[in-house]
Chains A and B, each alone.
Chain A
Amino acid sequence: MIRLIERIAYFISTTIKGIKTNLYLNAVTVITIAVAFLILNIFFMIYRNVNSLLGEWKGKIKIIAYVKDGVNDQQIIIIGNQIKSNEGINSVKYFSKQDALNEFRKELKGQDAILSGITQDVLPAYFLVTVKDSIITGKAIGKVVSFLKGISGITDVQYGEGIAERISGLLIIVKMLGFGIGGFMLFAIFIIVSNTIRISIFSRKDEIEIMKLVGATNSFIEIPFILEGMIQVVAGTGLSIVLLYLVYRIFMYKLHQNLGSLFVNINISFISKETMIALLACSALLGFAGAFASIGRFIRQSY
């Protein structure tokens, strides 16, 4: 146990020594990684907020299926059950002619004069249908609409045509952009870390040679370099989160100061705790991979 603790202490002190030896280089690396992750984090934030906004919109997509005049109550129940039987349907609510008029009145509250003379016969009865989230892609919602159109007793179906397609299209673009930027950033960080570690290895080449000479195992030599790489990326990511938070606070302050009344209901959220933890864990892995790529190759090449 004491041996293990001493060994860990040795690795930590050697890592710190290594960082101190190339302090400037390490600082530049951490800042570079922080900037790269800042861009990525801004993107995460945009994605999170756009996604939640889209989520709100999704819930508002409703389909109205108009019922043929003269359909009796029993037939209404049958049509309702038929609609419910579709897997993509979330909820179904029937509005009779009278209900339809009441709803219309609610919408035009204060302008009752317009409605004078309008009787319930003017408006058709309808089913208000909401669909499941998974259905909000252009093709799937189209299928539900044609299903509804196919039911006997339904005359016409209305829904926000085009909106669903646009929402799902936007989500796909946001996701694609995320994968593109994310992939590129991760690759760039991998290259940065592996190059920094390579320089670190080069500056401690003599030490590595002597350690090999006196019988150090590869892992004994590798561990401090790998820790150095992990610390660089995790520190860079941590710094990027702090920077992002500052940018976020300033942005929110300016937004409310200048456009306060307009944007009073807009709630822009910061990246979630889960995202932060996942980012830090990913950075540790990335640091490990970048450092290992350099030191592993160097160690295994030499005798």
Chain B
Amino acid sequence: MIQLFHIYKHYLKGSAALEDISMQVEKGEFVFITGPSGAGKTTLLKLMFLAELPTKGQIIVNGYNITRLRKTALPFLRRNIGVVFQDFKLLYDRTVFDNVALTLAVLGIPKKEIKKKVWEILKMVGLQHKLNALPIRLSGGEQQRVSIARALVNEPAILLADEPTGNLDPDLTVDVMKLFEEINIKGTTVVVATHDKNLISTYRKRVITLEHGRISEK
């Protein structure tokens, strides 16, 4: 589902964020990417949905070489990838419904269908009763669930999560991980970047460890 071949990422200042990364994530797999802060986890994830371009190397996602993708084709790649961030990236002047509906609105899906799908996904993350609430009124865990709902409402083939439990207490972390496992069982490929060792030891999944921008698979 995701293949990286000899990926290098250097920033302008000359520092190397990633050095010769080659890895593969199978369809329907659940993978942790871990490593200390600054190891390159976020950069690696960003390359997978082309928020940034690699300096060198090839990335194949869902059968497409995304490093050779034209900019105009980028939105269509992203429609197959849901992304969850540590800081949620919600729109705080919009309701929970509007935040989640945005993913479907950009696809031109009819309003009626949007309503149905948003309600279903919010029910799945346990927030159907907060449909009209503003995100600012929600707890950190609830906000993260809204961002997960936004990432999943389009039923993407891949879910990328960057430190999704970084701002959550242990109970809420369990809730979020349960959600990820559920969607993984339904067939979505899940890649979670985290530096939380407890999380990795609790959930027995394949782990890819990064150190100083290089890979050391355990």
* Chain A residues within 8 Å of B, Cβ to Cβ: 2-3, 6-7, 10, 21, 206-207, 209-218, 220, 300, 303
Contacts and interface: CB of A to CB of B under 8 A. Distances in A.
Contacts of A207: 91
Interface in B76-112: 76-79, 83, 89, 91, 93, 102-103, 105-108, 110-111
Given A10-B105, A303-B53, A212 B110 contact: no
Interface in B35-67: 49-53
A172 to B, nearest CB: 49
Contact of A216 (B50, B75, B89): B75
Contacts of B77: 215
A200 to B, nearest CB: 14
- Do most interface residues of chain A lie in helix, strand or loop, or is the interface mixed? helix
A213 B85 CA distance: 11
A150 to B, nearest CB: 70
Interface of B: 49-53, 71-72, 74-79, 83, 89, 91, 93, 102-103, 105-108, 110-111, 150, 154
Contacts of B111: 6
A85 B107 CA distance: 72
Kindly list the 3 A-B residue pairs having the minimum CB-CB distance in the complex, ordered from nearest: A215-B79, A216-B106, A215-B78
B106 A214 contact: yes
B78 A209 contact: no
Nearest to B51: A303
B110 A300 contact: no
Contacts of B103: 214-215
Given A300-B71, A303-B50, A212 B78 contact: yes
B108 A213 contact: no
A7 B108 contact: yes
Given A217-B75, A218-B72, A211 B51 contact: no
A211 B108 contact: no
A207 B110 CA distance: 21
Contacts of A206: 89, 91
A289 to B, nearest CB: 22
Nearest to A7: B108
A216 B77 CA distance: 11
A209 B88 CA distance: 13
Contacts of A216: 75, 106
A210 B93 CA distance: 14
Nearest to A21: B93
Contacts of B110: 2-3, 6
A205 to B, nearest CB: 11
